[in-house]
């Protein structure tokens, strides 16, 4: 059975949490990093996974 975990994606520049998503933690145990659009910075930035509180 897949273990899906809710994660938040935080901008590396301004530290704002812009995206909420799910990932399978068994297949991908390392932290997720994606290049996504940041509304505060007004450009595409690297977003890193943080734990959902």
> What are 13-46's pLDDT values in tens digits?
999 999 999 999 888 889 999 999 999 999 999 9
Does position 53 have pLDDT exceeding 70, yes or no? no
Angle at 49 between CA 13 and CA 29, to 5 degrees: 145
- Distance separating alpha carbons of residues 28 and 18, to the nearest angstrom: 21
Q: Report which DSSP code applies to 25.
A: T
- Distance separating alpha carbons of residues 9 and 23, to the nearest angstrom: 12
Q: What is the pLDDT of residue 3?
A: 76
Positive or negative, the CA dihedral 53, 44, 26, 1 is positive
CATH number attached to the domain at 4-51: 2.20.28.120
pTM above 0.95, yes or no: no
Enumerate the β-bridge partners of residue 22.
Answer: 6
């Amino acid at each position: 059975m897949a273990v899906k975990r809710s994660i938040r994606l935080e901008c590396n520049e301004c530290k704002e949490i812009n995206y909420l998503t799910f990932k399978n933690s068994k297949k991908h145990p390392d932290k997720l990093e994606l290049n996504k659009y940041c509304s505060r910075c007004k450009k595409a930035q690297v977003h890193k996974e943080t734990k959902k509180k």
